[in-house]
Amino acid sequence: MKYLTILLFIFNSSLSYSQESNSNKILSNANFQHLIKKDDVTVVLISSLTCGYCIKDINFNNNISKQFSDKNINFVMLLEEDLNFITREKGLKKISTNWLIVPNAHNVYKDFWELEMFPEVHVFKKGKKVTSFIDASEETKSNLVNYLKKIK
């Protein structure tokens, strides 16, 4: 019993440490809705930490959020998984701190999820979706980067 208590203490300590050591901002569904209604451009990535394409593209997504950090663009990642799963899988440590995270976001993206596949990127301005980039192909990623370069 003593060893079980020690293991549980170590496990709980590591979970709280991983949450505290990362400076990603966790958004609620309501805060997300408020954010996309602002005048700023918001890039919304619908993703999952259990999707092979999404995991493969974490570095790409981190790079674009850093590349365009000098522009007035918000980067929001809507994740299928809840915060406990994300923390357990160390998802927050993999995702750049430039991304705002909405966990357990299915109810948020169900209204604009086009092909119901991961990943999908949607760009919003003043609360309206202005364009979408759907699939993980190199061409689609290149089109997204070119689109973001044109934003002033």
- Structure confidence at residue 39 (pLDDT): 73
pLDDT above 80 for 17: no
- Structure confidence at residue 67 (pLDDT): 94
**How does residue 3 score in pLDDT terms, banded at 50, 70 and 90?**
very low
pLDDT per residue over 101-117, tens digit each? 899 888 888 888 888 88
Task: Return the residue matching tokens 């590349």.
Answer: 67
In this structure, the number of other CB atoms found within 10 A of the CB of residue 146 comes to 9
In this structure, the number of other CB atoms found within 10 A of the CB of residue 135 comes to 14
Cβ neighbors of 5 (< 8 A, separation 6 or more) are: none
Q: Which residues pair with 104 in a beta bridge?
A: none
State the DSSP H helix or E strand holding residue 41, giving kind and residue range, or none if neither.
strand 41-47
> Average per-residue pLDDT in the chain?
80
pLDDT per residue over 18-68, tens digit each? 333 345 688 777 788 888 877 789 999 999 988 999 989 999 999 999 999
* Mean pLDDT value of segment 68-90: 86
- For a pLDDT cut of 90, what percent of the chain falls above it? 36
- For a pLDDT cut of 70, what percent of the chain falls above it? 82
* Mean pLDDT value of segment 64-75: 91
Tell if the pTM clears 0.75, that is, is over it: yes
Residue type, 50: T
